Structure 1
Amino acid sequence: MSEASGEVVRGWRGALQAFGTRSALTLFFFGFGCGLPFFLVGNTLAIWLRDAGWELGPIGLVSYLTFFYVFKFMWAPLLDSRSLPGFGRLGRRRGWLLAAQLSIAAGLAALALTGPVSSVPLFLALAGFTALAGATQDTMVDAYRVEIAPIEMQGALAATYTLGYRIGLQLCGGALVLYLADFAGWRIGYLAMAGFALIPALATLLSPEPPPGEGFDKAARPSFVDAYVKPFAEFFRRHGWVLGLVLLAFVGLFKLPDQMLSIAGPFYLDTGFTKSDIATVSKLYGVWMGIGGAFLGGMVVAAIGVRKSLLIAAIAVAVSNLLFILMSMYPGQLWTFVATISGDNLSQGFAGTVLVSFLASLVDKRYTATQYALLSSLANLPGKLIGGFSGFIVEASSYTTFFVISSVSVIPTLLLLAWLWNRIVVDTQTDARGANR
């Protein structure tokens, strides 16, 4: 494609040109597609279940359905090395992408028609199927973004992807579906989201297929060692076993305070706010705070480097969880809701950008999809494990106690960062060779 193969213009002029490319527009729609289903099988689904009369304990366990996003590294090598039968004409990346996007639309429509009361096992199975399709789409979009354009354009692609992701995640999968549920019912809300899920599918059909990676033969079937073992073995060969394991532990614990908050949606209802209130403040207003935090994170990383930014981000996310206590002290008061969402979304957006910058410095370009899937999956695993029991923790104590626990859970992360401080070398000038030395 022209933007991938033409002469690269550097500096501010090149950055502005990168935002106007076809690839940047494509990544906006792909970001929208990746963000849309996540709340619909997570926080928004929890609100639906609470609204339908479910107890907090089972709602917390339902959050384990999003474990498909945590374990996507398990099938990433398959997606990385083979084309999907029946979709081969679209190419390796677009074939898997289109299949995942159509599956998301079908899953959301089926959830709408089934509902969480009439057939609970079927409803949960459909939610799991949708989460699996969403995680597969995420893996393919990450690989597509790396392969479609040179490294000079990756910043613009990441920016347009993030903008699309936040719109899909919070404006549609969060705010709009809650408005629709409030005025027309949950079935209409989820059917509308199923229709929106077809938009990125159209973008897939209209977008080009990236060139295959070096040495890829679509007719070949790589061995188990080539597909599954080599990407992980290379990570530890490059970093060493001790540093490699500590890096994985740090990545896994970094988002723990945030990932524990799987009961945030029910908490909003229990503190006296309606679904429309939640949609307006948590989703519609919160999305712009998240985008602002993401751009702030990018500027801070550029100014002071990744290591110091990691420290600021970890502390900011932990402290922002204490704002939820303010809501519990003043239930039903809008100003506490706005203050909490401001701090929570700003810190999440900031931390997300910092973490992506850090993960990019850890992967080998030869195994980008598989290693990135492993690291991004680990970033969600511990929090999801604990978050599944969050409802039971609240029922056994109180919301205030739970939010304090979630905040102090940052301590292991800070201890690991202190150990890593002089053992990792990452900064904004690190290129592909420096990251993989």
Structure 2
Amino acid sequence: MTSYFGWLSGLRIYFQRQVLIIFVLGFSSGLPLMLVFGVLSFWLREAGVSRADIGYFSWVALAYAVKWLWSPLADNLKIPLLYHWLGRRRSWLLTSQLAVAIAIGCMAFTDPQQNLALMAALAVMLAFSSATQDINVDAFRIESAVVEMQAALAAAYLTGYRLAMILASAGTLWLAALFSDGSAYDLSGWQHAYLVMALCMLPGIVTTLLCKEPVSGLQQQQHTDGSLLQRFAGWLRHAVIAPFIDFFSRYKWHALLILALIACYRLTDVVMGVMANAFYVDMGYSKEEVASISKIFGVIMTLIGAALGGVLINQFGIMKILFAGAILSAATNLLFSALSQIGYDLMWLTLVISADNLSAGIATSAFIAYLSSLVNLAFTATQYAMFSSLMLLLPKFTGGFSGQWVDHFGYSNFFIMTAAMGLPVLILIALLARANLRRQNKKATE
């Protein structure tokens, strides 16, 4: 009984004001991803774009993987006018959120059959704006609470993020079908769906305007003396070089293991995800079927996975749940392989989507909490952007070849390949867990 009430007490943390704010900002962050990555591939496939081109098209999402290049600006550049009104984090948030909404709206008036290059350019704009928003939401989240609250904030962020992803995927597919005239490809359905998604950015924008600016640990340096080149060099040292030096000085050679884990952890699900919607189209599933199953079972399992991940982290620690999440992510890819052999089957589709969302919720909760624990609050945006960029660089680049692999090996073998990509992750987690234990024992004996 005591254990039961302990779990209930642990769940109350999700209703604190700061956690709810992060939930909405997580929703705002998650909305653009599927519109530039997942659902867009469904649209492109219906428009007759080849699987190979869809794979290459996914490279626009590499903006998320190189966002560390401009992340120092979020820590060091004040946006004129807005900075004095909203503060550093909120001014950057508002600017990026407005840019995301504009990009989605512009994509609604573009036809990939007529101008694929323009669609690609707008997708790059959306990815760039969305990645910038992610930089500042992550910094806002980390600066909003003490370390003990970060697991709950990560779970809230993930819940909002995943709900937005499901709305952007299932909701967009459902709306595109609703406004369609029933033909194999109807542009107007997709246009209406994307316009609605642009309006769905409003909750995040309103939250940014109403919430409070977090207390930052940024150590701003004023470079008022010397030439322009000297001032730039001083800024470069503080904004770009110092965060990297700080990370390596704190973790020594363990930093290489950490960076290797970050680079590989999401390889399994991201590479598979590039071809997921093309797979649904080729297997004969309609937009309505995929949307309905994702919306009902996907939402339920995402909520369970995200909340369960946060609770399990508090109970068992980050590393054990990281390990479990990696196993679950690889296992669900094997379910996709089985589905490709079974063929069109709504019951199996429901099982696969449900399992995929549950495992993603648990794994991503643990991974976000882990990345947050690595950050020095003096360099919040830069360091977290470095980690989250590295997290996507290898998976997004590798995913660009997924269309070619499907054409060559077939869907079943492709999904097995992506599951096998999770094996190095398990080894890296085990090595890091052992290294952490040794470091703790060493500190205890000092």
Deviation per CA, 1:295-329: give whole Å up to 9, x if none.
22233323332232222221211111000122112
Q: Quote how far apart the aligned CAs of 1:403 are.
A: 0.7
Per the alignment, residue 199 of structure 1 pairs with: 203
Secondary structure of 2:435's partner? coil
Q: Give the distance between the partners of 1:234 and 1:412, measured in 2 at CA.
A: 27
Question: Could you tell me which of 102, 106, 109 is aligned with 1:106?
Answer: 102
Would the alpha carbon gap of residues 254 and 393 (structure 1) be closer, same or farther in structure 2, given more than 3 Å must change?
Answer: same
Q: Does 1:49 align with 2:61?
A: no
Per the alignment, residue 7 of structure 1 pairs with: none
Per the alignment, residue 26 of structure 1 pairs with: 21
Would the alpha carbon gap of residues 219 and 28 (structure 1) be closer, same or farther in structure 2, given more than 3 Å must change?
Answer: farther
Q: Give the distance between the partners of 1:229 and 1:62, measured in 2 at CA.
A: 32
Per the alignment, residue 379 of structure 1 pairs with: 391
What pairs up with 1:324-403 in 2 under 5 angstroms?
A: 324-403=336-415
Q: Give the distance between the partners of 1:312 and 1:61, measured in 2 at CA.
A: 31
Per the alignment, residue 266 of structure 2 pairs with: 255
Per the alignment, residue 211 of structure 1 pairs with: 215
TM-score computed with the length of structure 2 as normaliser? 0.87
Q: Give the distance between the partners of 2:149 and 2:309, measured in 1 at CA.
A: 19
Task: Give ranges in structure 1 of 5+ residues lacking alignment.
Answer: 1-10
Would the alpha carbon gap of residues 385 and 16 (structure 1) be closer, same or farther in structure 2, given more than 3 Å must change?
Answer: closer
Per the alignment, residue 192 of structure 2 pairs with: 188
Q: Does 1:66 align with 2:61?
A: yes
Q: Give the distance between the partners of 2:430 and 2:151, measured in 1 at CA.
A: 29
Q: Does 1:243 align with 2:247?
A: no
Q: Quote how far apart the aligned CAs of 1:282 are.
A: 2.8
TM-score computed with the length of structure 1 as normaliser? 0.89
Secondary structure of 1:211's partner? coil
Task: Give ranges in structure 2 of 5+ residues lacking alignment.
Answer: 1-5, 180-188, 225-230
Per the alignment, residue 83 of structure 1 pairs with: 78
Q: Give the distance between the partners of 1:153 and 1:419, measured in 2 at CA.
A: 27
Question: Could you tell me which of 264, 280, 291 is aligned with 1:268?
Answer: 280
Question: Could you tell me which of 135, 140, 150 is aligned with 2:136?
Answer: 140
Q: Quote how far apart the aligned CAs of 1:426 are.
A: 10
Q: Give the distance between the partners of 2:17 and 2:223, measured in 1 at CA.
A: 29
Q: Give the distance between the partners of 1:346 and 1:120, measured in 2 at CA.
A: 34
Paired AA for residue 217 in structure 2: G
Q: Give the distance between the partners of 1:367 and 1:285, measured in 2 at CA.
A: 39
Q: Give the distance between the partners of 1:299 and 1:215, measured in 2 at CA.
A: 34
Per the alignment, residue 184 of structure 2 pairs with: none
Q: Give the distance between the partners of 2:215 and 2:363, measured in 1 at CA.
A: 32
Q: Quote how far apart the aligned CAs of 1:156 are.
A: 4.1
Would the alpha carbon gap of residues 37 and 421 (structure 1) be closer, same or farther in structure 2, given more than 3 Å must change?
Answer: same
Q: Give the distance between the partners of 1:72 and 1:319, measured in 2 at CA.
A: 30
User: For the Cα contact (< 8 Å) 2:10–2:311, is it kept in 1?
Assistant: no
Q: Give the distance between the partners of 2:438 and 2:223, measured in 1 at CA.
A: 38
Paired AA for residue 422 in structure 1: R
Q: Give the distance between the partners of 1:150 and 1:412, measured in 2 at CA.
A: 32
Q: Give the distance between the partners of 2:383 and 2:315, measured in 1 at CA.
A: 27
Per the alignment, residue 8 of structure 1 pairs with: none
Q: Give the distance between the partners of 1:299 and 1:65, measured in 2 at CA.
A: 35
Paired AA for residue 234 in structure 1: D
Q: Quote how far apart the aligned CAs of 1:357 are.
A: 2.4
Would the alpha carbon gap of residues 203 and 399 (structure 1) be closer, same or farther in structure 2, given more than 3 Å must change?
Answer: same
Q: Quote how far apart the aligned CAs of 1:150 are.
A: 3.8
Paired AA for residue 105 in structure 1: A
Q: Give the distance between the partners of 1:374 and 1:151, measured in 2 at CA.
A: 19
Paired AA for residue 163 in structure 1: T
User: For the Cα contact (< 8 Å) 1:289–1:345, is it kept in 2?
Assistant: yes
User: For the Cα contact (< 8 Å) 1:109–1:190, is it kept in 2?
Assistant: yes
Secondary structure of 1:396's partner? helix
User: For the Cα contact (< 8 Å) 1:305–1:426, is it kept in 2?
Assistant: no
User: For the Cα contact (< 8 Å) 2:34–2:169, is it kept in 1?
Assistant: yes
* Greater percentage in helix: 2
Q: Give the distance between the partners of 1:398 and 1:177, measured in 2 at CA.
A: 28
Paired AA for residue 84 in structure 1: I
Would the alpha carbon gap of residues 421 and 22 (structure 1) be closer, same or farther in structure 2, given more than 3 Å must change?
Answer: closer
Secondary structure of 2:92's partner? helix
Q: Give the distance between the partners of 2:95 and 2:235, measured in 1 at CA.
A: 24
Secondary structure of 1:84's partner? coil
Secondary structure of 1:101's partner? helix
Q: Give the distance between the partners of 1:100 and 1:84, measured in 2 at CA.
A: 11
Per the alignment, residue 424 of structure 1 pairs with: 436
Deviation per CA, 1:334-361: give whole Å up to 9, x if none.
1110111122111111111111222233
User: For the Cα contact (< 8 Å) 2:177–2:288, is it kept in 1?
Assistant: yes
Q: Give the distance between the partners of 2:361 and 2:375, measured in 1 at CA.
A: 22
User: For the Cα contact (< 8 Å) 1:83–1:93, is it kept in 2?
Assistant: no
User: For the Cα contact (< 8 Å) 1:359–1:372, is it kept in 2?
Assistant: yes
RMSD: 2.5
Q: Quote how far apart the aligned CAs of 1:27 are.
A: 1.8
Paired AA for residue 259 in structure 2: L
Question: Could you tell me which of 277, 299, 302 is aligned with 2:314?
Answer: 302
Q: Quote how far apart the aligned CAs of 1:135 are.
A: 0.7
Secondary structure of 1:292's partner? helix
User: For the Cα contact (< 8 Å) 2:163–2:302, is it kept in 1?
Assistant: no
